[in-house]
Structure 1
Amino acid sequence: MMSIDRRSLVLGALAVPGVACLSRAARAAAPSRIVALGGAATEILYALGAGDRIAGVDVSSGYPAAARAKPNVGYYRSLSAEGVLALGPDLIVATDGAGPKEALDVLKSASVRLVQLEEAKTAADAAERIRLVAGAIGERERGEEVARAVAEDLAALETALASVPKRRNALVLLGPPRGGGLMAAGAGSSGAHALALAGADNAASALSGWKPLSDEAAYAMAPDAIVVLQTSAPLSPEEIARHPGLAGSPAVRENRVIAADALGFIGFGPRVAQATRAVAAGIYPEASLPALPERAWTVDRTPAKR
């Protein structure tokens, strides 16, 4: 495995509406060799049934498991344009934050269509970017089906959460790599946007973006719930319960520390409704939340390795 901070991979794996750029030689034919740069882009392509057309992915593409068997071009924030083009793609789908700029400039000047997605912030964004990618790969009908299902699931969850008598303050945390400190999702971050979908207020709203969390700041926040994003940087609810700044918080005292699928929850991809429901159920265990239907893209049916 490459020595790349998975925490950073997750932070940047989010993207949404708006094609930021299309290269000069956009092809009319449906692409057959697609390179996906960013975990959310990869998930969308698989949800659209285009997994067999993916020629390569980046290291943040961990779902479904089949994606991990694809040729890997490295981390999408530190790309080598030559490495991407060596796969012979006829379409590149990149999430927001792909770079560096010099590499993107090379890709944009090549005779390959490049669809670059913007940051995701709302439920509408999640559905819209599915339609966007579907249009780029010639799967508009399938894209509408997936986008509509995601929108319906999120709407059902929003309706149920509207009846919660009192919103709780929640804190979203990423684990520390190599002995570093916890990172908290401040205002304007992907974690803050995801919390809004889960019907909670952000206990770290005084911060901006993803920031290190000191013991003193954690104690002052006194969150009602804590969402621990699961990445390769190990962090468990049990560790949170022992954290000096959080051990006495309402979240720990009342057993509202939730382990969450990082890419599913803050990635705003096709699994966002199911991941958000799981988090909301942990924040509001007393609430009657709808059991969302199982979708083809929310269950990984990759055959287990023997």
Structure 2
Amino acid sequence: MGEEFKTLEIVQKSPNLPIFHLFLNRPSHLNALSLDFFSEFPKALSLLDQNPSVRVVVLSGRGRHFCSGIDVSALRGISGSSSSSGDAGRIRERLRRQIKGMQAAITALEQCRKPVIAEIQGACIGGAIDIVTACDIRYCTEATFFEVKEVDLGLAADLGTLQRLPRIIGFGNAMELAMTGRRFGGTEAKNLGLVSRVFKSKQEMEEGVSAIAQAIAEKSPLAVSGTKEVLVRSRDLSIHQGLDYVATWNSAMLLSHDLEEAVSAQMQKRKPKFSKL
């Protein structure tokens, strides 16, 4: 897409498919999250969001592992800035802004209108859990392992895991994993509901996710974007508020040509063709 990143790579594997791959691209560091990542990640997601040729984003890691969490050097940089001399109140206010900025980089996954599928292999540790819980759909391999690791580093996970993980796997399960920091594998992740499916190998996962992404890409972009928006928004609303929100959303979007095209395609037993978003 003409943009150079230090920690990421955007690839369209097939020019005929509106599926773009966003890679965490520090394989020699097990794709650990540097401070550069937190400025580049929302920028990359914004580029994908604004590109009308993109209908689905697949997020994965280069190399053997998805992501080993936040880079130790990044943690040192944050702690170093907070321990510098100066007024204690201003130091802590600056640290809070830095944490809020890192949180916003992860939340950018939810704010992207295009669906984001996490394709997880190898390690998914610490900050990587923050990332995948903000994705829309998650898949992994049998060899994948997960750890909510922050408690072992002397801190509470602060980039979204403690807020999003309980809504995905339940409060009690999230409490146990976050308190113990224990490792769990792909099969347990599936049983907990963290991932939708476990594949035997990375190759099978890539083939399976590709088929799923293509199926989503063939649907109305307005309907897919709307479904994501309503689901994410309704998570924080009562049922009544969620129904009111989707009624307002559809009253604005229902009259598009996509509805007519979808109905016509079903009647004519053909694949629908939708305009770019």
TMscore range, shorter length: under 0.3
Work out which structure has the larger RCO, using CA pairs closer than 8 Å and 6 or more positions apart in sequence.
1
Normalising by structure 1, report the TM-score.
0.24
Normalising by structure 2, report the TM-score.
0.26
Q: Which has the higher helix share?
A: 2
